Structures are given as structure tokens and as C-alpha cells.
Structure 1
Amino acid sequence: MEPKKNPKADVGRNSSLYFVIGLAAVLALVYGAMEWKKYDKANDYDISMNVEDQLDEEVPMTEQIKTPPPPPPPAAPEVIEVVEDEEEVEETVIESTETSQEEEVIEIEEVEVEEVEEDISVPFAVIEDVPVFPGCENAANKKDCFQEKMQDHIRKNFRYPEIAQEMGVQGRVSVIFVIQKDGSIGDIRMRGPDKNLEAEALRIIQKLPKMTPGKQRGRAVKVPFSIPITFKLQ
């Protein structure tokens, strides 16, 4: 038995039309979903009722600028009472210092000024009258005699310090002393390589005898004299 087919019942005849209608419907739904907006429900109550009243808060007041008080008015001047001076004041009489011809002029005697002796030191090499060593009073050349006597005195009193010998210390000690105005020996100074040698040189010079002081222009003066003392081990 053959099925009967209605030629008007063709399903594929309007398929493209249905497709366009469905696509348009889908686009409309998508657009509506994208443009959909939701709003919160509006409050019907008065917002001003929920605002706290802040008038009770303490509002800090602006500090007032303190201006210094005006200066006090000047005090009224005291009333000065004028008192009459009943006491008599003696006038000071200034006498003239000029002398009259009638007054006698007293002559002042001349005041003698004592000469102060200067403490002069004259080197041994240039002094006019050299100090005289005991035993050189009658020598023709007192300067050469002085130096010879000095060498003899050093040789007679020379003694090498034992501690310096043990240590092997030797050298020359330069000695400077002053023959005072009374002929004594003073202001002794030494300079050498060892204190023991300096002490021995001091001992030798201190044993010098008192001399006749040197003179410059007939007056006794100080005379500095220097001499080396050599310490040499044999």
C-alpha cells in the first residue's frame, strides 16, 4: 500500500524563514539580558531623621590674642621745695704761686748721685789685666803663666772615674767657669759625653785656689774662662 503524501505539507519549504525568526528572537533575548538593570528599593523615610545632632559637641573656640596692657601713666613730678641757704660758705682764696721780688730765693744744694757699679764680664782673651794665678805674681807674661798653672793643676788633681773605666767611657769635657771680682771661682758649667766624667771635671775646677781678680780700666771685673779636660783610656 503506497503512503499518501500531501504536497502542501512540505516541512522544509519555510525552514529559512523559521531560522531567521528564531535568530532574531535569540538576539532580542541576548540584548535584553545585557541591558537589564536592577535598582534598589528607594527608602521612603526621611534621611534627615537619622542624622545625629552634633550641636551638643564642644566646638573649640579660637584663642583670643592677648594684647599687652598699656603702660602706666608717668608719675607726677615731685614738688621740689626751695630752701633758703642761711649758712655762709667761706670762699676759697687761691694765692698766686709767683714769687715777688721781696721774697728770698733759697738755693738748693747739688745732690750727689752715687754711681752704681755695673756687673761687667770681660773675656780672658781681651781683658787688660788678666787674673793672676797664685805663683804668677812676678811672671813677665801673666797670661801664659795662668794657662800653665791651670794645666799643672788639672794634671795634679786628675783622677779617672772607676765606673767610667769599667764602662769604657772616654771623651772630652768642656768646662766654663767665672773668676769673680773677689778672685773666687763660680758659675761652673760642664758638657761632656758622660755624667761621671762631668762630675770629675767639676771636682777638679772646684779645687782651684783663690786668684787675684782681673781688672778692666783699673776696676775688678768678672772674667769667664773655658778649658777642655780630656779623658782617655790607656
Structure 2
Amino acid sequence: MFGSKIDLFKREWLDVVFAKKNKNYGAYELRQTSASNTTKSLFIASTIFILLFLAPKIYALIAGILPEPPPEKVTEVIMQEPPPINPEVKTPPPVEPPPPKEDQIKFPPPVVKPDNEVRDEEPPKLEELKVASPGQKTVEGDPNADIVQIGPVGEGPKQAVVVEDNAVYTFQAMENPPTYPGGVDQFYKTVFNAVVYPPMASDNNIQGTVVVSFTIEKDGSMANFSVDRKLGYGTDEAAIKALKAAKRWNPGMQNGKPVKVKFNIPIKFSLAQ
């Protein structure tokens, strides 16, 4: 009897073991399905192990079939030389006024001077003033000249109205483009070092280039940020934040006055950097 094979999970033995026990409790059914459950568990575990072992090869096979994504197009900022400055226009000499219609005799107002500077000069005679008008110098009149009407006495020269130039220029149209402390390369270096890769973009493997344009104001500060090429997943906001970390520029000059200048920069986001 001891040398024979005894399988306690066979139905005959289970009926003997559970003869006087509650077969609806659950242990009876578990003993009955023990062999099939073990087989199923072994099959599932083996399948999962094989799939994990072959996963790298399956991924490499699929990656070889799929087409490679097109390379990212990077926009380069090319700064052209500013146009040559026009030579200064010479002011023409003042135009002599036309001769008056009637003769004019020099009769300047009296000026108080020291005795050693006073020169003896005969004033015009009364007979001469009857046929000529008093003036600052003696001028022979032209009887055929048009009568020039003299306007009312003004209050003297007024201050010229200064028109503020609020136009936005480009680098190509500037006499003196804006400059960054340390040069444009230092500006790029400052911005790229300040870029923080957004976690949302890195988790989703988002890579590419964001192009941002902005205005360099008259005081050298940067304003009016605009994302011309978006990438999303927080990269657009990260690019603008990096630009705001840069220092002030030396403003661009046009006709000797500071003006606004537009500038754009590509910022590349790469997980390999």
C-alpha cells in the first residue's frame, strides 16, 4: 500500500476526506481545481517571461519598418550690415530779401556805448526821410517791386515741436543696430543657459524648435514677446521665461535718437543636450 501512488487530489480521495464536511465551504472546490489552476498559472507566467525577453527585438523590428521623422528645420538669424549713412546735407545760404519798393536810409535805433567806441556818424536829414523810409541799412528801392505786407509782430521764435518716433525698425534698416553687453553670442549663451526643459515635454519626448520674436525698446528693455513657431507642452512659456532672464540691450539709434527694433531668436529643445 505504501509503495503505490496515492493522489490525494483525486475525486475518490476528496470524497473520503470531505465525507462528513461541508463541501459548499470552498475548500472542496479549490482541491478539485488545483491542478488546472496550477497549469494556467504556469502558462501565463511563461508567456509573460517570453514577451519580456523578446520585447527589445520586437521593438527594434518595428522601429526598422516605420519611416524616420523628417529633420527639424532650424531658422538661423542672419544679421546684415546696416546701410551706409547718408552724407550730411549742407544748409543753403540764406536768401537775400528782395529790394523794397521805396528807398531806405540807414537809421538804426540809438545804442548806449562807451565813449571810446562811439563813432561820429551823421543822422539822415529830414529832407531824405521825406522820400525814404528809415531802416537798419541804406538800400536803394525798386519802384516796380511788389508791395510786401508785413505781418503783425510775433513773440519771437518758438520751440520746435519734437515728433516722437514710435516706429518699429528691423536690423537691416538700422543706422546703429542695438547691441547686447558682451555681444550677440553672449545673449544666445545667456538665453540657452536659462532654458528649463518642461517636465511635461520631457515626459512626452517632445523635441523641436520654438521661434520667439520681441521688441527691443528705446530704453534697451525687451517687450512684446510673441511665439512665431509653437511646440507646446510648456516649451513656449519656457522660451519666453528664458528671454526675460537676459540683461537690457543698448538701444538701436536712428538719426541720433533711440528707436524700437524687432528681433527674433530660435530656441531648440532637445533631450540629448
TM-score by length of 2: 0.41
TM-score by length of 1: 0.48
Please identify the structure whose Cα radius of gyration is greater.
1
